[in-house]
C-alpha cells in the first residue's frame, strides 16, 4: 500500500524528470566538446545538442562570448527547473518551489559580492540570472543602492532581511561579504527544512542527509582553505555554514584543528569515512586543495545520482534532477573556458563532473 501511494504521488514527477534526463549530455558528447580545436568548434558542437535552440535564440552572432554563454546556460537551467516545478502539485510542488529559492539566494550573493568589490551596476547584473519578472525587478532595484547596508535594508522578505541584518556588524568589522553569503545559505537551508515538514520521515531524512553531505564537505574544504591562508579563528567561525545538530557538531570538531591531517581525521570519524579516506590519499600524494575540491564535487555528484537509480518514487528524484542539471551546466561552462584558453583535454577533464 505504501509503495502504491508513493508511485501514485511521484509517478508524474518521475516521468517528467526521466524525460528531461534523456536529453542530458552523454560521455561521447563531452569528449567531442573536450577535443574541440578551438572555441568556435566547441560552440558548433554544443549547438548540435539540446542547447542549440537556446544559443541561436539568445544571440545573433555565430559564437557567443563566454559571458554570454554562461548567461544562456544559466537561463536554460532556470527555465527548465521552473517549468518542472510548475508542472508539479501539492507538497511536492511546494518543496520544488522552495528548492528553487537557490536562484534567489545565488543572485543575492552575486549582487552583494559585486557591490562589495565595487563593480558597476551593469557588470553585476550581467552575472545574475533572475527566474521571474519579480526577481528581475528586485535585482535591478538592489544594485542601485548606495552600499551593501542600504541593500540589506531594502530586502522585501522579512525573515531573510533579519538574517542579513544580524550579520551586518560582522560584515562591517571584517570587511568581507562572506558573513552575508553564509547568512543567505543558512536561510535557504532553513526554508528547505520547513518545506520538508509535510513529508514522511523517510523522504525527510533522504533530503536532509544529502544536504548534510554538502554542508559537511564544503565546511571541510573551507577549513582546509583557512589553514592554507592562515585565517584567524574569528574569520573561520563566520565562514562555516551551520545546519543540523550533527553538522554543527562536526564543525565544532574541526574549527580548531591546526593541520589538514587533523581535519581529515575528524572527517573519518563521521559517516563520510569513504570520501575522507579518499581525500587523505589525495593529500598524501599531492597536498593539492584543488584536487580535493574535485574529489568532493565528484563524490557529491555520485550521491545525487543514486537518488535516480533503483526505486524512483520519492522526493530525491526532484532534488536529484535539479542538481544533475546544474552539474551539466557547470561542466559545459568549464569546458568552454578550458577550450577558449587552449588547455589540453586532459586538463579540462579534471575540471568537470561526469555523473
pTM here?
0.81
Same domain for 299 and 207: yes
Confidence of residue 14 (pLDDT cuts 50, 70, 90): low
The C-alpha cell at 258 is: 591546526
Q: What is the mean pLDDT of residues 324-350?
A: 88
3-state SS of 199-234 is CCHHHHHHHHHHHHHHHHHHHHHHHHHHHHHCCCHH
Asked if 14 contacts 8 with a C-beta cutoff of 8 angstroms, the reply is no
pLDDT at 335: 93
Q: Within this chain, do residues 205 and 279 fall inside the same structural domain, yes or no?
A: yes
Same domain, residue pair 306 and 205 = yes
Q: Are residues 113 and 24 in the same domain?
A: no
Q: What is the mean pLDDT of residues 308-315?
A: 62
* Domain identity same for 304 and 320: no
Judge whether residue 310 has pLDDT over 70. no
Q: Which of 41-45, 131-135, 236-240, 242-246 has the lowest mean pLDDT?
A: 131-135
Percent of the chain with pLDDT over 90: 55
Greater model confidence, 26 or 88:
26
Name the 3-class secondary structure at 241: coil
- Measure the CA–CA gap between 139 and 136, rounded to whole angstroms: 5
The predicted pLDDT at position 1 comes to: 42
When pLDDT is averaged across residues 236-240 and rounded to a whole number, the result is 94
Per-residue pLDDT at 46: 96
Residue 220: closest CA among 244, 255, 183? 255
The last residue of one of the domains, among 143, 164, 195, is: 195
Tell whether the model's pLDDT for residue 319 goes beyond 60: yes
Kindly state whether residues 219 and 297 are assigned to the same domain. Answer: yes
279 and 241 co-located in one domain = yes
Q: Are residues 271 and 232 in the same domain?
A: yes
- Site of grid cell 544580524: 166
Query: pLDDT tens digits, residue range 92-110?
Result: 888 888 988 888 998 899 9
Instruction: Report the percent of the chain where pLDDT is more than 70.
Output: 92
> Residue 3: pLDDT above 60?
no
> For 260-307, how does the pLDDT look when each residue is reduced to its tens digit (9 = 90+)?
999 999 999 999 999 999 999 999 999 899 899 989 988 988 888 777
Mean pLDDT of 322-338: 86
In the prediction, which pLDDT does 4 show? 43
- In the DSSP assignment, the letter for residue 25 is P
DSSP helix/strand/coil, 51: coil
- CA 215, CA 132: separation in Å to the nearest integer? 28
Cell numbers for 355: 555523473
In the structure, how many helices (H) and strands (E) does the chain have? 20, 0
- For residues 96 and 207, what is the distance between their CA atoms, to the nearest angstrom? 12
Q: Are 219 and 293 in contact (CB under 8 A)?
A: no
Choose one of 276, 293, 310: the last residue of a domain: 310
Q: What is the mean pLDDT of residues 239-257?
A: 94
Residue 167 corresponds to which cell in the numbers above? 550579520
Q: Which domain holds residue 223?
A: 200-310
**What pLDDT, in 10s, does the model give residues 153-210?**
999 999 999 999 999 999 999 999 999 999 999 999 999 999 999 888 888 998 899 8
How many domains does the structure of the chain reveal? 3
CATH of the domain at 340: 1.10.132.50
Structural domain ending residue among the three candidates 172, 195, 218: 195
The DSSP output letter for 26 is P
The DSSP element (H or E) to which 41 belongs, if any, is helix 39-46
Is 216 found in the same domain as 173?
Answer: no
d(CA 93, CA 82): 11
Residue 252 sits in a domain whose CATH number is: 1.20.1690
Residues 297 and 354 in one domain: no
Q: Tell whether 173 and 235 lie within a shared domain.
A: no
Quote the cell numbers at residue 4.
502504491
Residue 86 has pLDDT above 60, yes or no: yes
Looking at the structure, tell me whether residues 210 and 276 fall in a common domain. yes
Residues 112-151 have pLDDT tens digits of: 999 999 999 988 887 787 767 788 899 999 999 999 999 9
Amino acid at each position: 500500500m505504501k509503495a502504491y501511494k508513493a508511485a501514485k504521488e511521484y509517478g508524474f514527477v518521475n516521468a517528467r524528470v526521466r524525460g528531461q534526463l534523456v536529453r542530458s549530455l552523454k560521455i561521447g558528447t563531452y569528449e567531442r566538446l573536450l577535443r574541440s580545436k578551438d572555441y568556435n568548434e566547441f560552440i558548433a558542437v554544443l549547438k548540435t545538442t539540446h542547447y542549440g535552440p537556446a544559443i541561436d535564440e539568445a544571440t545573433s552572432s555565430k559564437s557567443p562570448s563566454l559571458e554570454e554563454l554562461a548567461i544562456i546556460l544559466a537561463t536554460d537551467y532556470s527555465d527548465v527547473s521552473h517549468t518542472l516545478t510548475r508542472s508539479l502539485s501539492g507538497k511536492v510542488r511546494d518543496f520544488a518551489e522552495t528548492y528553487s529559492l537557490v536562484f534567489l539566494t545565488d543572485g543575492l550573493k552575486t549582487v552583494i559580492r559585486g557591490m562589495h568589490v565595487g563593480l558597476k551596476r551593469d557588470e553585476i547584473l550581467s552575472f545574475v540570472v533572475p527566474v521571474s519578472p519579480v526577481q528581475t525587478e528586485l535585482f535591478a532595484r538592489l544594485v542601485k543602492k548606495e552600499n551593501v547596508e542600504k541593500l540589506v535594508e531594502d530586502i522585501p522578505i522579512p525573515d531573510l532581511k533579519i538574517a542579513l541584518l544580524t550579520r551586518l556588524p560582522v560584515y562591517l568589522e571584517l570587511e568581507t561579504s562572506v558573513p552575508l553569503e553564509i547568512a543567505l545559505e543558512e536561510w535557504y537551508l532553513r526554508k528547505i527544512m520547513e518545506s520538508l515538514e509535510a513529508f514522511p520521515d523517510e523522504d525527510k531524512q533522504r533530503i536532509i542527509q544529502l544536504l548534510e553531505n554538502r554542508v559537511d564537505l564544503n565546511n571541510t574544504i573551507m577549513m582546509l582553505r583557512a589553514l592554507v591562508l592562515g585565517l584567524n579563528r574569528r574569520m573561520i567561525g563566520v565562514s562555516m555554514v551551520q545546519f543540523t545538530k550533527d553538522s554543527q557538531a562536526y564543525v565544532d570538531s574541526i574549527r580548531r584543528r591546526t593541520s589538514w591531517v587533523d581535519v581529515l581525521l575528524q572527517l573519518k570519524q563521521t559517516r563520510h569515512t569513504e570520501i575522507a579516506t579518499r581525500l587523505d590519499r589525495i593529500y598524501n600524494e599531492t597536498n593539492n586543495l584543488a584536487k580535493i575540491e574535485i574529489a568532493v564535487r565528484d563524490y557529491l555528484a555520485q550521491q545525487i545520482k543514486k537518488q535516480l537509480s533503483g526505486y524512483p518514487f520519492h522526493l530525491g528524484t526532484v532534488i536529484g534532477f535539479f542538481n544533475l542539471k546544474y552539474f551539466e551546466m557547470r561542466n559545459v561552462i568549464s569546458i568552454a573556458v578550458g577550450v577558449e584558453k587552449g588547455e589540453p583535454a586532459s586538463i579540462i577533464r579534471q575540471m568537470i563532473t561526469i555523473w
